[in-house]
Every structure is written in C-alpha cells, then in structure tokens.
Amino acid sequence: MKIKDPKTFFIRTYGCQMNELESEVMVGQLKRRGLKRVLDEELADLLVFNTCSIRDLAERKVMGKLGQLGRSKMRNKLIGVTGCMAMAKKETLFKKLPHVDFVIGTNNLSELNNVLDDVVASGKQQIRTEGEYDALDYTIAEREHKIKGYVSIIRGCDKYCTYCVVPYTRGQEVSRPHEEIEREVRDLVQKGYKEVTLLGQNVNSYGKDRPETGVLFHDLLYRLDKIEGLERVRFLTSHPIDISVQLMEAVRDLRTVCEFVHFPLQAGSNRILKKMHRIYTKEQYIEKVALLRSIAPNAKLGTDIIVGFCSETDAEFEETYQLFDEIGFSVAFIFAYSPRKGTPAMRWQDDVPEEVKQQRLHRLLELYEKKAQEERLELVNTPMEVLVEGKNKNGQLKGTTRCWKNVILEGDDSLIGTLQMVDISGFNHSTLIGTVKKPLIV
Ligand code: SF4
C-alpha cells in the first residue's frame, strides 16, 4: 500500500548545476505545500530523484537506485523521477520500475504539486513530459548556499552536437526576460548573496531568441554589474563559436565578472570535431583562445573533453593531447565517450574499445594533473581574492578565488560571507591553503 498523504520528502539530485537549481525550486514547491524536508530517505513519505542523462554512468546509477527501492520495504513510499532521464525515458520508466508513481520532464517541473495531487487522488501513475518551456518560479527556490547562488538565464540548446541528449531532453533555447533575471539577482543580493553563477547550456546564445529586447549575453553582464552589493558573477557554459569579443571585453572590464571562461574543446582533431558537429575547427578554437588571452590576459580557461568518440584513432587522440598541453586549461572535465540513446551518434559504431578509451582517459588525466600541479606551484606566494563561503568538514574556512580555485584558510566564522585578500602559502591536493592578508569587504 502506498502512502496516501505525504508529510515529509527526500530529494536527491544527479548531474549538472541546472539540475541543482531545479531541485532547489522543487524543494520550495514542496515546502509551500506543507511538506517537511528530511535528509534521510528512510524517514521520507515522498522520494524525488532529479536525474541526469548526459552519461551512461549517471543513468545507470539512478536506475540501480530505483531498482533497489523496488525490492526494499521503501517501495510503499511515493516515488517520483524528474529531470533529463525522465524526459529521455518517459513511460518506459514505468515498465521497468512499476513502483515509480510519477515522471516529470524538465519542461513540466512547475506542475510538481498538481502531479502529486493527481497521484494521491487517483492512486495511479502520472506522467508529464510534453511541455515546451516551463516558466519556473525561481523566487521560491530553497537554496543550499547562502553566499552564492545559481541563476538560470537560458534553457535548452540549439547546437545538436551528435553525442549529446540535451537538445532532446531540454528542448530549444529559450532566454528568460532580462528584467526577471535582474530582479532575481537584486533579490539575492538583498538576502546577502555575494556571488551568482549564470546558468545555461550555452549562455552565449542568451537573448538571440529575443532580438526585440536588444539584450545579448554581454549586455546582461553590464546590467548585472551595476547592482550594488553584488560582488561576483560567473557563467557556465560557453560554446566556443558564440564567444564574442564583447564578452571577452566584459571579462576584462567588469568589476563583478570573474576571470574564468569555461570553453569546451571536446576534441583536438578536425575530423572528430566535425563528426561531433561542434561547428568549429581546431584552428578557430585556437584563434578564439588567443583572442581571449590578448583581450583578457588574466582569464583562466576551463574545458570539457571527450576521449574515444566513435572512430577516434590514436593519431586523432594525440591531437587532442597536444592541444590540451599547448593551451593549458586551469579546470578540465575529461570523460570517455558513452553512447546516448536518441542522439545521432547512436547510429555509429561505438568502436573504440573500452580499454583504449580508458588508456586515453588515463593519459589525459595524468597530463591534466601535471599541468594543475604546475599552476598550483605558480600560485604559491600570490595574493588572491577569496570569497569565504563557509566551513569544510574539518571546521576550516573555505572559499573560492575569482579564477575558481578552492582555498582553505584559518579564521573565525565572522569571515564567512566576506571577500578577503589572501596570501597563498601552499596546497593540499587540489585545494590551495591561504592566510588572510586584508579584508576587502565585510
Ligand atoms: S552545445 Fe552541444 S554539448 Fe553543449 S548542450 Fe548543446 S548539444 Fe549538448
């Protein structure tokens, strides 16, 4: 027998920052309904899994977890699956997991409470995956952090990279009105937030679907920069083809915009880039990096790389390796390719043997670690601006630099939420260790 009147809920988020933000909105929705959030799933009447579909591993994790629930005594709880995997698998989820009560896609999340009403009233499974764009009310988000927050500015993607499910699970690009974004950021600042990260699958497309507003991504950055009390703006993710000179100038000139650009390369071979439908060549990518470095020399670069894409040869992987070495990324997310259902690449043979993918992954990760170590050594004895965000599990203060490095430092709780100028004295694995030099803002 399923629980009829849920009083408590547990939510688990898989995947990207956009999912984290959408989970924060769902927490707000459920709390407004009167449900209490619990952190132990055994104590919850309702379990919500906000899922990711970007990699096979992410999907397998959720399917494993849901399968396990079906075999345990917890199957009498109400169970909902939301997000990208819900969108990709739709009704088939009910066939595989008959104990799941509802499935809500990425463009129907605002219907969560209505769906819950229908499940409770009918006792039947419910599905909502047909929405085109969901004008979510972000103002009700119950945010995890109190100093820095995510702000969605554009949803969906029109790029159709051949390996990626996002255009199918999140739909076409839709920008939020700039007035709404500015209002949300102002509201966050009033609540004490110092940093926002603007989110979108491709933030650089912001505003192109609303030409009548005349506000493109860099214009939005200039508008947000005027908000008093806002200290930092970050943004994720940028498609290299859409990164404009104006954006680079904004990174150079604006007080709030952090000097970090996530600039996914994906592969260093032109044949593989074409097969991936990345719509730039290796030469164009190198040119953009050179331009960014000439306009904003302090900017650090982040990237994503996929190794072992369909038919990638050893020589083509070497091109990726060489380019990665030459460019020198400050942050990198490196993955072995895994085919995703519903993508064009599914039609091709996933013909790079797993062992070869793992060798390539390992080599590139080794190179990344070597470069990261060199960068960390360079940062020792450098003063850096740190936003103190809270404490780590050892009770030490933790924060981040403008270029997105984690720092731990000594000090008391009064520093939390302040900007400090910190001398970097060393590092522990990938975390920098710093000493406060002088407060920048209190
Ligand atoms: S740009 Fe490509 S990889 Fe990024 S979300 Fe769009 S389709 Fe996916």
**Alpha carbon distance 42, 74 (integer Å):** 7
Quote the ligand 1 centre to 442 CA distance (angstroms).
39
**Alpha carbon distance 318, 19 (integer Å):** 34
Joined together, the tokens standing for residue 416 give 């939390």
Tell me what percent of the chain is helix, strand and coil, each rounded to the nearest 5: 40, 25, 35
Task: Using CB atoms within 10 Å of the CB of residue 211, give its burial: 0 to 12 exposed, 13 to 18 middle, 19+ buried.
Answer: exposed
Residue whose token pair is 């909902």: 80
Tens digit of each residue's pLDDT, the chain (442 residues)? 777 789 999 999 998 999 999 999 999 999 999 999 999 999 999 999 999 988 888 888 999 999 999 888 888 899 999 999 998 899 999 999 999 999 999 999 999 999 999 999 999 999 999 877 778 899 999 998 999 999 999 999 999 999 999 999 888 999 999 999 999 999 999 999 999 999 999 999 999 999 999 999 999 999 999 999 999 999 999 999 999 999 999 999 999 999 999 999 999 999 999 999 999 999 999 999 999 999 999 999 999 999 999 999 999 999 999 999 999 999 999 999 999 988 999 999 999 999 999 999 999 999 999 999 999 999 999 999 999 999 998 889 999 999 999 999 988 899 999 999 999 999 988 899 999 876 665 4
Domains by residue range for the chain, with CATH? 8-128 (3.40.50.12160), 380-441 (2.40.50.140)
Asked if 372 and 379 touch (Cβ cutoff 8 Å), the reply is: no
Cα 246 vs. chain centroid, distance in angstroms?
24
Nearest ligand 1 atom to alpha carbon 201: 5
Ligand 1 pocket, CB under 6 A = 157, 159-161, 164, 166-167, 201-202, 239
Asked if 176 and 184 touch (Cβ cutoff 8 Å), the reply is: no
Nearest ligand 1 atom to alpha carbon 165: 8
Quote the ligand 1 centre to 358 CA distance (angstroms).
23
Length of the chain, please? 442
Asked if 20 and 150 touch (Cβ cutoff 8 Å), the reply is: yes
**Alpha carbon distance 363, 356 (integer Å):** 11
- By most ligand atoms within 8 Å of CB, the mutation choice from 172, 174, 202 for ligand 1 is 202
Quote the ligand 1 centre to 382 CA distance (angstroms).
36
Which H helix or E strand runs over 78? strand 78-83
Quote the ligand 1 centre to 45 CA distance (angstroms).
36
Scanning 12-55, the segments in alpha helix (DSSP H) are 17-32
By alpha-carbon position, which residue is closest to atom 4 of ligand 1? 201
Query: What does pTM read for this prediction?
Result: 0.93
Quote the ligand 1 centre to 44 CA distance (angstroms).
35
Peptide bond into 237 cis (omega under 30): yes
Longest dimension (CA), the chain: 65
By alpha-carbon position, which residue is closest to atom 1 of ligand 1? 159
**Alpha carbon distance 360, 374 (integer Å):** 21
Residues forming a β-bridge with 195: 148, 232
Whole-number Cα distances in Å, 8 to 23, 100, 358? 16, 17, 42
Which H helix or E strand runs over 89? helix 84-89
Cα 6 vs. chain centroid, distance in angstroms?
30
Quote the ligand 1 centre to 157 CA distance (angstroms).
6
Quote the ligand 1 centre to 137 CA distance (angstroms).
25
Nearest ligand 1 atom to alpha carbon 170: 5
Scanning 301-437, the segments in alpha helix (DSSP H) are 314-327, 354-379
Quote the ligand 1 centre to 164 CA distance (angstroms).
6
**Alpha carbon distance 173, 20 (integer Å):** 19
Whole-number Cα distances in Å, 145 to 20, 366, 392, 405? 11, 32, 13, 18
Nearest ligand 1 atom to alpha carbon 157: 6
Nearest ligand 1 atom to alpha carbon 158: 6
Whole-number Cα distances in Å, 2 to 47, 120, 123? 12, 9, 8
Quote the ligand 1 centre to 238 CA distance (angstroms).
10
- By most ligand atoms within 8 Å of CB, the mutation choice from 159, 160, 165 for ligand 1 is 159
By alpha-carbon position, which residue is closest to atom 8 of ligand 1? 164
Nearest ligand 1 atom to alpha carbon 202: 1
